[in-house]
Chains A and B, each alone.
Chain A
Amino acid sequence: MENFTPVASTIGGIMIGLAVAGLYFFNGRILGISNITAELIKGGPGDHRRWRLVFLSGLFCGGLLLMLWQPDAIRPSPVSLGTLALAGLLVGFGASLGRGCTSGHGICGISRLSLRSISATLTFMGTGILTVYFVRHIAGGLS
């Protein structure tokens, strides 16, 4: 547990919660990154895409600020390019089929006490744990 960061993670979590609450208060939208991204690339009328584009621009600029101010905060994944490609496919497909990811189900949905989101979150945490267990402890650290 030497990498445990309870204070920074709680502060960051509160900022995430404020961003989610702000988007809902000002614009009435659920902050779910996978749906925002999928609806943006799907196309559709300008209004449908515009707010998503502005939101994601803010997200990207946040990443740029982190690079300038806390470059150590953004670190690469420890796995190979092939594994990243497979993981990306599974994440994109699974989030679309399950209609949400860590933000939409894990934060927004649980805050609304949605049984759907609680079920989804328990499920993806469960398969995430199983996947890491398999990769690290059975397949012997396959990357």
Chain B
Amino acid sequence: MKWLTLFLSGLLFALGLGIAGMTQPQKIIDFLDISGNWDPSLIFVMGGAVSINMLLYRLTRRRPCPLYSGRFTTPRHRKINSRLLVGAAIFGSGWGLAGYCPGPALVSAASGTVPVLVFIIAMLAGMGLFRVTLANHEDDDIDGPSMDR
């Protein structure tokens, strides 16, 4: 069952992205184009996702642990530092250039078309480049114990 829930959350996430229009890069670019032909759809995607998850997250945190795991894994980082902001700034510029972020790109890989595969290979290369240049010990512990609730 544990593996089925993992598989199904990936499946549901992908279907949600597709129905929401997030696997249409032009829609993302049009959302970011506030001075042009603005498409506010992404606000509704985030509003729907955040509101339902905010409620269910709070209910889930009342449990001592997840159903199929011994503990909740929550990011332990608390500081707003330059790595966070510079990383997010770089991420946003790439997102605006092509209209892809990682989730929709990986879902779109199912189309088997060359352009999205080029994006994904470059994205993996970017992650690899980070590991050999700026990664430090802080980046290793994403499975560390949860500290915030």
Q: Report A's interface with B, CB cutoff 8 A.
A: 1-6, 8-31, 33-35, 37-39, 41-42, 48, 51, 54-67, 70, 73-79, 81, 83-103, 105-116, 119-121, 123-133, 135-137
Which of A31, A56, A62, A98 counts the most chain B CB atoms within 10 A?
Answer: A62
Q: Is the interface of A mostly helix, strand, loop or mixed?
A: helix
Counted as pairs of residues, one from A and one from B, with CB atoms less than 8 Å apart, the total is: 502
Q: Which of A56, A62, A132 contacts B15 (CB 8 A)?
A: A62
- B103 and A75: CB pair below 8 A? no
> 9 pairs across A/B with beta carbons < 8 Å?
A3-B41, A21-B52, A27-B2, A30-B75, A37-B106, A99-B87, A103-B103, A111-B50, A115-B80
Q: Could you tell me the distance between the alpha carbons of A59 and B22 in the complex, rounded to whole angstroms?
A: 14
**Knowing that A48-B143, A66-B15 are A-B contacts, what are 15 other residue pairs whose CB atoms are under 8 Å apart, sorted by A's residue number?**
A14-B52, A27-B9, A41-B124, A56-B106, A57-B10, A59-B103, A86-B122, A89-B126, A91-B98, A92-B130, A97-B86, A110-B46, A119-B80, A120-B85, A127-B96
